[in-house]
Amino acid sequence: MSNTHTPNDLPTEQGASVTRRDFLKLAGASGLATATGTLAGANKARAATPDGTPEQIHLTFGNDPRTEMVISWASLAQAVNPRVLIASGHERKTTLHAIQRTYTDGINGEIVCTYHARLSGLQPGTTYTYEVTADNDSNAGQPFSATFTTAPRGDVAFRFTSYGDLATPNTNWVLSSPQSKFAVAAVERFQPLFHLLNGDLCYANLNPTTQPEVWRDFGNNCQTSAANRAWMPCPGNHELEFHNGPQGLNSYLTRYTLPDNGTAYPGRWYTFRVGSVQFVSLDADDVIYQDGAAFVAGPSALVPAASTGNAPIEPGTSLYVRGYSNGEQTRWLEQTLRGASGDDSVDWIIVQMHQDALTSSKTGNGSDKGIREAWLPLFDRYGVDLVVCGHDHDYERSHPVRGCNHNTGVDATTGQPVDTLQPRPVTTSHPSNNTYDTSQGTIHLILGGGGTDAPLDVYGVDAGDGLPQAKVFTKPNRPVLGTTANTYVRNAADALEDAIWSAQRDTGTGYGIAVFDVDPGQSRGKTTITMNYYHAPGADTTPTAEYVLFETIVLEKTRRC
């Protein structure tokens, strides 16, 4: 599949002041498209009479989390006069009209309507109450309401949480599991200021004829938390969908309004700051070797609804977008990291992405040399403290790493030497107080235990010495013919290396949530981030709401000012 820009494929954004005639026209078109051919089943979860009732409500930070918040939602038909009413304390409610953003799903032809209200001029560290409604909201008498709190001003303590690979609670969808509901509830249990969602949000591209419905179930599940606090996502390989815009990201980009990055690729990567911590969110699909996005294995083609006008997608086709930004993301990343590293008021740099540079999962995907080539040298140069990922559905923590060892890997088939750029641990000891100075090296966390039905908590072991071993993609694994006629496969990672950088692996369950407490400390003194990882024993076989402490580590360094 091509990864070039096609302007007509981009989501459509416009003011949301529509006439009732426009509303009826769009609602009718949507109903016709989803009833086409064998795709009628995609409409099974729809209400009897779709209207503008808000659902899938979620928050994201604007460019400045202290003063800006974006409230986003969807409706089953086009909303008439969609709006937010907001107030702080006993203030009078202020009305803000939303911007409408739509796209037509490239496989089943369904028109998806989303809305975004950007709130600015807010007060730091302040709790606001808001309502979301529309003229054709069936709950207009008692519209949806919730509260959120803006980020604090200055260097104060705060909490954030993180995991990736969430899926939905609806087991009709591939890779979904009831554990997804418990994972969202876990965020609320810990009451963070915000949550980092590390890619592979709902796996809609594994359910290609019903993608909008999968996204809907995901959004409504997340709403129980994401309507109360910002959920800050990054795209993963399962956000890339056939015929859904450049890089296949229309479903993702239509639903989320994220901080501006000042490039030709809005929403795909961004940065924001809370207190003395600079957060950087990346799209690793741009640099990885692994081909892991939308794929037609065969033997039959994937045939879009006739209403889309899109051609069938033949067996052996994959949506491979490595290099789509032509280096623009990496140039932006270096500029962003250089700015943060040179700012004495920034003590911590934390990077979020989906795919992994350091993972030793045996049953999962593996590490990717593409990230090691493009970004790990920048992390070293500018002192990134922590990287949080998903992709492999488990928990793994690295030792602090800096630099790499060359020619230490082997080809997984032939055993011949391969340069995997093996990350070099600064230390392999385990401090008695579990405290690490990340000014000496970057710690990588695999937090892929959101809520899929495929936990991957089995790890690689070298049969010769019993030590941890990792798979590594060092080249693309494009589709090749399988053993059955007209079927295709994508091979596993091509190389192996000793995982000398692996410090901790959770072999008990693939599910969990990381809770981070930032303590800014005193001027010229120590600042810390305490990470408590809670896992869900037994969830690999039976979904559970019980998350218990697995390990605690402390990241510590001297404040810069």
Whether the CB-CB separation of 437 and 557 falls below 8 Å is answered with yes
Q: Which tens digits make up the pLDDT trace of 135-152?
A: 999 999 999 999 999 999
Answer whether residue 33 shows pLDDT above 50.
no
Answer whether residue 159 shows pLDDT above 70.
yes
What residues pair up with 497 in beta bridges, in sequence order?
470
pTM of the complete model: 0.93
Q: Which tens digits make up the pLDDT trace of 353-405?
A: 999 999 999 999 999 999 999 999 999 999 999 999 999 999 999 999 999 99
Q: Which tens digits make up the pLDDT trace of 470-529?
A: 999 999 999 999 999 999 999 999 999 999 999 999 999 999 999 999 999 999 899 999
Q: Which of these, 378, 394, 410, lies nearest to 474 by C-alpha position? A: 410
Of 43-52, 105-114, 261-270, 392-401, the one with minimum mean pLDDT is 43-52
Per CATH, the number for 7-558 is 3.60.21.10
User: Residue 119: which residues within 8 A CB-CB, separation 6 or more?
Assistant: 62, 68, 69, 70, 71, 84, 86, 96, 128
Q: Which of these, 48, 101, 55, lies nearest to 74 by C-alpha position? A: 55
% of the chain residues with pLDDT over 70: 92
Average confidence (pLDDT) over 300-310: 98
pLDDT band for position 14 (50/70/90)?
low
For every residue of 21-36, DSSP letters joined together read HHHHHHHHHHHHHHTS
Cα–chain center distance at 75: 22
Alpha-carbon span 70 to 195, nearest angstrom: 15
pLDDT for residue 10: 55
**Token reading at 410:** 């082997």
Answer whether residue 39 shows pLDDT above 80.
no
Answer whether residue 536 shows pLDDT above 50.
yes
Whether the CB-CB separation of 318 and 248 falls below 8 Å is answered with no
For every residue of 407-427, DSSP letters joined together read S-EEETTT--EE---EEEES-
Q: What is the mean pLDDT of the chain?
A: 92
Specify burial of residue 522 (Cβ count, 10 A radius: 0-12, 13-18, 19+): exposed
pLDDT for residue 27: 30
**Token reading at 220:** 């409504």
Whether the CB-CB separation of 22 and 42 falls below 8 Å is answered with no
pLDDT band for position 90 (50/70/90)?
confident
Answer whether residue 326 shows pLDDT above 90.
yes
pLDDT for residue 31: 29
